[in-house]
Structure 1
Amino acid sequence: MYTQSITRTHRTAFILLIDGSGSMTEEILFRGRRTTKAEAVASITNALIFELIERARRNDGVRDYYDIAVLTYSGNDEVYSLLPDNREMISVAELAAREVTMRREVIECHLPDGSTSLREIPTPAWVFPEAAGQTPMHQALDQACEIAEAWCRRPEHAESFPPTIFNITDGEATDCDEEELRAVCERIRALRTCDGNVLLINIHIAAGDSQQAVFFPSEEEAAYPNRYASLLYACSSPMPEVFNEAIREAKGPGAMPPFRGMSYNASAEQLIAMLNIGSISVKTE
C-alpha cells in the first residue's frame, strides 16, 4: 500500500481547499513579518504549486505526473476554482504552460552572521488572497470528494498513488455540524485506488487558545484540550508509513508513528513542512 511511484502512466492528484472567509483578514506572524492569514495561505499555496511544477520538470519539459485542483470556499456558501479559466482540475504540464502573473513577495533571509533580513523577490502567483463571508467547509469537502471520486474511477488511475487533499482553514465550518463534517471526511477517506485510500490532511492556521501546537500528531499527542483540534484529528487521515521518515525529520527523532495528517496552532514553518511532506516526498520516476 502507498508504494506506487508517480509516473506518466501512474499519475496522482493534489486537491487544495483554501478557506477564503472573512476571518482570513486577521494578521499572523509569517516569515518574519506581520501579514494577513489570506496573504500567508496564498503565498504557501503558490510556493507549493511551483514546487509541484518543478518536481515534474525534466530535460524534455514538465511531465504529466499529476493533476491539480485548487478550490476556495467563502462568501455565501460559495466554492469555486482558482485555476485558469475556472477549470476544476488541470494537469501539471498544462498548468506549467499557462502564462502566470508575477508578484513581489517579501521573504525572510538568514545571513552568515546568524541574523535575518527581509528581502523582496518576484514570485509566480496562481492564487491571490481572498477573505469574505462565511466558511462553507462542508460544501468544499463535498465537492473535493466528487472530484477525487471521479479521478479514482478512471481506469488509467486504478493502480496510481491515491489523491491527496489539503484543507487549509482558520475556523470552523458554518454550513454543517460536527457529525456532518465527520461524515463527509469519512466519505473522502473511504475513496481509494489499488494503492491505498485518498489522503485528507486538515490544516488549521489560526493561533489557538493554547501555545501548544499539534503537528502530524501521534495518538498520544491528540489528547489536546481543544474541541476543534480533536475534531480535526478524527477527520484526518492516518499518514502512510512512506511518510514516517520525513515527518520524524520535521518533528524530531523522538516522534513516534503512526501520525495523523493534521495540524492545529502550528507555526508557519511547520505549515510549510506539512505541505511539502504531504505532497512532494512521494518518489517520482
Structure 2
Amino acid sequence: MSDIVFTGNHLPSKNLLRFADLLESATKPTIKPRPYTAKVTRTTPTAFVFLLDQSGSMRNTLTVKGQLKTKADFLADAVNELLNQIIPECRREGEYRNYIDICVIGYGGDADQTAKYAWQGGLSTKSMVTIGELKDHPLERQGTKGKWITPKAGHLTPMKQAIELAHDTLVQWLASHSGKDIYPPVVINLTDGAATDADEGELIEAARKLRTLRTADGQVLFYNVHLSGSSNEPVLFPCQTDELPDDDYARTLFAMSSDLPAIYNRQIAQITGRDASPAYTAMALNVSPIQLVQLLNIGTSVSRRQQQ
C-alpha cells in the first residue's frame, strides 16, 4: 500500500476528495452471513494496529516476574514478544509469507504531543509494514529474537489523535484490498490513563467511526486495555456495564470497545473461567502484566489461526 499519511482532522486539502472516496469504500461492504471466517492468505491478508500510550505516567512501575519495570518498558517488551511470535507463524514451505500487515502508533512521548507511527530504524518511514519487512528490519537482535519497539514515556495522552490516525491508516489499507474477502483488521489500544485531548463523548465518537470500517467479513475489532499498577480487581471482557467499577473511565472504555464475535468466546472462557456463551466486550480494566500478554494473544489469535 501507499505510505501517504493522513492524520486525524488534518488532512491536506488536495487529498480531501480522494480520502472521502476511500472512506466510502471502507464503510460500504455488505457483511456476509457468517462473518469473521475469512482465510488469511498472501492475497487476502489482515492487519493489526497497536496504539501505545507513551505519556508521562508510563514511567510508573509495576512488578513483572518479581522485578520492577516501568510500564513503558513492559508495554514495549510485550509488543516485541508478540511480533516475535507472529513472524514464525507466517513461515510456510521455507519462506515468510505476508499474511499480516502491522502498524504501531505511539501517542504522547514527545513534546509536540501528537500521535505518530512508532516504527524506527529501517521502518521509520512506514505506516503499515509487511511480515517480510518486519523480519528484515528489527532495531536490534538478541539471539533469535528481534526488537522493533523501544519504551518511551513523556508528556500528555493524545488518545483521540491515535484513534483517528488508526482510522485514516485503515481507510487506505482497506481501499487497497477492496472487493476481497478479508479478515477484518484488529486494533488494540494499550493505555494506563485517560485521554487529555478529548472528552468522553469525543472519544466514544472517534472509536465509533473506527469500528464502522469493515470488510465483507465483518467490522474492525477495537480493543481497549487499561494497564494498571494498582491492586484493584481486574475486569476482563465484561458483558455488561454492571460488571464495571463505578467510575466514568471504565464506562468510557466499555462504550469505545467492540462487541466480540462468538468465535472468541471459547478462548475468553478459558482465561476467565466464565461461561463461553455470553457476548463479550473487547475491553479490560486494571490488567496485570500476565493478563496483558493473554489479552494480546486473544486479540490477534483468530486471524493468526486462519492463515493458509
Instruction: Measure, in 1, the Cα distance between the counterparts of 2:71 and 2:125.
Output: 23
Instruction: Measure, in 2, the Cα distance between the counterparts of 1:32 and 1:242.
Output: 35
**Cα distance change on mapping 1:99 and 1:21 into 2, 3 Å:** closer
1:2 to 13, 31, 36: 36
- The yes-or-no answer on 1:53 pairing with 2:74 is no
Instruction: Measure, in 2, the Cα distance between the counterparts of 1:223 and 1:182.
Output: 17
Report SS of the residue matched to 2:156: coil
Q: Is the 8 A contact 1:222 1:230 kept in 2?
A: no
Instruction: List per-residue Cα deviations over 1:114-152 (Å, max 9, x = no partner).
Output: xxxxxxx88421001100111010111100000111112
2:66 to 22, 32, 38: 32
Q: Please, what TM-score do these two structures have when normalized by structure 1?
A: 0.88
Alignment of 1:50-129 (within 5 A): 50-74=84-108, 75=110, 76-83=112-119, 84-102=123-141, 123-129=145-151
Q: Is the 8 A contact 1:151 1:157 kept in 2?
A: no
* Amino acid in structure 1 at the alignment position of 2:114: E
Q: Is the 8 A contact 1:10 1:156 kept in 2?
A: no
**Cα distance change on mapping 1:92 and 1:156 into 2, 3 Å:** farther
* Amino acid in structure 2 at the alignment position of 1:15: V
1:196 to 218, 221, 246: 218
Report how far residue 255 of structure 1 moved: 5.5
Report how far residue 91 of structure 1 moved: 0.8
Range with greater deviation from structure 2 (126-135 or 148-157): 148-157
Counterpart of 2:307 in structure 1 is 284
- The yes-or-no answer on 1:267 pairing with 2:288 is yes
Counterpart of 1:21 in structure 2 is 55
* Amino acid in structure 2 at the alignment position of 1:50: N
* Amino acid in structure 2 at the alignment position of 1:165: V
Counterpart of 1:108 in structure 2 is none
Instruction: Measure, in 1, the Cα distance between the counterparts of 2:280 and 2:175.
Output: 28
**Cα distance change on mapping 1:97 and 1:201 into 2, 3 Å:** same
* Amino acid in structure 2 at the alignment position of 1:20: Q
Report how far residue 61 of structure 1 moved: 1.5
Instruction: Measure, in 2, the Cα distance between the counterparts of 1:222 and 1:86.
Output: 42
* Amino acid in structure 2 at the alignment position of 1:5: K
Report SS of the residue matched to 1:16: strand
Instruction: Measure, in 2, the Cα distance between the counterparts of 1:160 and 1:16.
Output: 19
Range with greater deviation from structure 2 (67-76 or 165-174): 67-76
Q: Is the 8 A contact 2:107 2:157 kept in 1?
A: yes
Q: Is the 8 A contact 1:80 1:86 kept in 2?
A: no
Report how far residue 244 of structure 1 moved: 1.0
Report SS of the residue matched to 1:259: coil
User: Which structure: greater strand fraction?
Assistant: 1
* Amino acid in structure 1 at the alignment position of 2:295: M
Q: Is the 8 A contact 2:61 2:229 kept in 1?
A: no
* Amino acid in structure 2 at the alignment position of 1:79: A
Aligned residues: 267
Instruction: Report % sequence identity.
Output: 34
Q: Is the 8 A contact 1:14 1:164 kept in 2?
A: yes
Report SS of the residue matched to 1:52: helix
Q: Is the 8 A contact 2:266 2:276 kept in 1?
A: no
Give 5+ residue unaligned stretches, structure 2: 1-34
Give 5+ residue unaligned stretches, structure 1: 104-120
Alignment of 1:245-256 (within 5 A): 245-254=266-275, 256=277
Report SS of the residue matched to 2:211: helix
Instruction: Measure, in 2, the Cα distance between the counterparts of 1:248 and 1:221.
Output: 19
**Cα distance change on mapping 1:102 and 1:60 into 2, 3 Å:** closer
Report SS of the residue matched to 2:106: strand
Counterpart of 1:160 in structure 2 is 182
Instruction: Measure, in 2, the Cα distance between the counterparts of 1:222 and 1:28.
Output: 25
